[in-house]
Amino acid sequence: MVHNMNALVETAGHDLTVDETTWANGGYTDIHGRIIGKPCVTKGGQHTIIVDLRHRFVYTYTPCHKFFTNPAGFTAEGPAKVHCLFHNIAPIIKTITQDIDNKRSQIFKCEPCVSMDNHFSSDNVLQLLGKAGWGGIFTCRRDHLPSTCKKSSFHNLKNVNIDAQSKAALLSSKWIIQNQVARNLTP
């Protein structure tokens, strides 16, 4: 279905979003597996999808299950899914040479910019996207900041009282970290 939709799209948007979606199964059969930690869903499945930010077209997806083998360097679930989605999308970008056997139309004029939450962020994902010329916008947990960032750039205070003022200061000062990666044109 996704390949059929991509065949109808003449030009894809430049801004993409990656997220997980959960679907519930209310039947007696165990369709995909047990879902743990999701409210109101005990059976069903999950997919990781790439969606156009403005038009909500699904360009590619991958099911989430334990039968995938993670590539080297992508041991966490989120970054491994980004690696899989990256290789699904790469052949339909016009600046990348397509295999002869691949008949999908190349709908992206240039490398897209992908926004993701902290489940998908890692140093390896930054390197993968940066070397291919893609843009990436991530949210990062404070304990998973890129390893190349200097520790002196951050304020680490110990024994601070948590009150209304410190919580307000936390929300009003967002961190923006930029990581430049040299582009590698060889696949």
Tens digits of per-residue pLDDT, 79-113? Answer: 999 999 998 888 888 888 878 887 778 888 889 99
Domain over 2-24+40-172 is classified CATH 2.40.160: no
Low pLDDT (below 70) residues in the chain: 1-7, 26-35, 65, 141-144, 151-160, 165-179, 185-187
Domain chopping of the chain, boundaries: 2-24+40-172
The pLDDT, as a whole number, for residue 24 is: 74
Q: Record the pTM.
A: 0.73
Report CA torsion sign: 76, 78, 79, 81.
positive
The pLDDT, as a whole number, for residue 86 is: 92
CB contact set of 137 (below 8 Å; sequence gap of 6+): 113, 114, 115, 116
